[in-house]
Structures are given as C-alpha cells and as structure tokens.
Amino acid sequence: MTERIETAGCFCGAIRAECRGEPFWINYDHDDDCRRAIGGPLTVWIGYRPEQFNIVQGMVKTYSKTPGVVRSFCGRCGSSIGYHDDGIPDEQYLTIGFF
C-alpha cells in the first residue's frame, strides 16, 4: 500500500511542507484566539503527529500569546501555518489553507 503524502505551502511559496500518513484529527475551530490569529471566522485544523510533519523549504516564524502555545506563520506573506501546544506535545495542527 502506498503511503499518503500531502504537500503544503504558504501563499508566497517560501514555506513548503510534507505530511506523511493519515492525519489523526480534522475539525474546525472558531474561538476568539484562532479567529484573530487566522483573520477569518473559522479555520479547519488538520492534526498530525510531529514525526509526520516535515518542513521541506523555508523557515517558519512563530508567535506565542498564551504560554506553551506556539502559532507558526510565513514571515514573508503572513500565511498561518500551524498551532502547537506544549501540553499536548504529540499533536501538531496545520491550517487547511496551508495545504
């Protein structure tokens, strides 16, 4: 059986990534922090294990407003990329817009 590989990239193309295998979780979120961080009424988050997610081009910028929670984005075009919470270290969430 062939392994599923999803490719992702930001708006300007500076950041590229690959995700291998099946995501463990897909759902939308519309809380205050995510609406402001994403700049839209909601986003769909795709959850992968950190070992499934690999940046293959570029370097993400990060921002943390809540201790332990890190949001990543492209420093050139501003595209939202990911969300990581130190309290759930084996979960990496990516915005659907990044794919």
Does 56 bind Zn ion (CB under 5 A)? Our answer is no
How many residues are present in the chain?
99
Give the type of residue at 25. W
Q: Which is nearer to Zn ion, 12 or 26 (CB)?
A: 12
Stretch of 5-13, 42-50, 61-69, 85-93 contacting Zn ion, by CB under 5 A: 5-13
In the complex, the smallest distance separating the C-beta of residue 83 from Zn ion, rounded to whole angstroms, is 17
Candidate residues 26, 56, 77, 96; the one interacting with Zn ion per rule CB under 5 A: 77
Does 12 bind Zn ion (CB under 5 A)? Our answer is yes
Stretch of 3-11, 24-32, 39-47, 86-94 contacting Zn ion, by CB under 5 A: 3-11
| Chain Cα centroid distance, residue 13 | 15
Does 14 bind Zn ion (CB under 5 A)? Our answer is yes
The DSSP string of the chain is -PPPEEEEE-SSSS-EEEEES--SEEEEE--HHHHHHHTSS-EEEEEE-GGGEEEEES--EEE-SSTTEEEEE-TTT--EEEEEETTSTT-EEEEGGG-
Site of interaction with Zn ion (CB under 5 A): 10, 12, 14, 74, 76-77
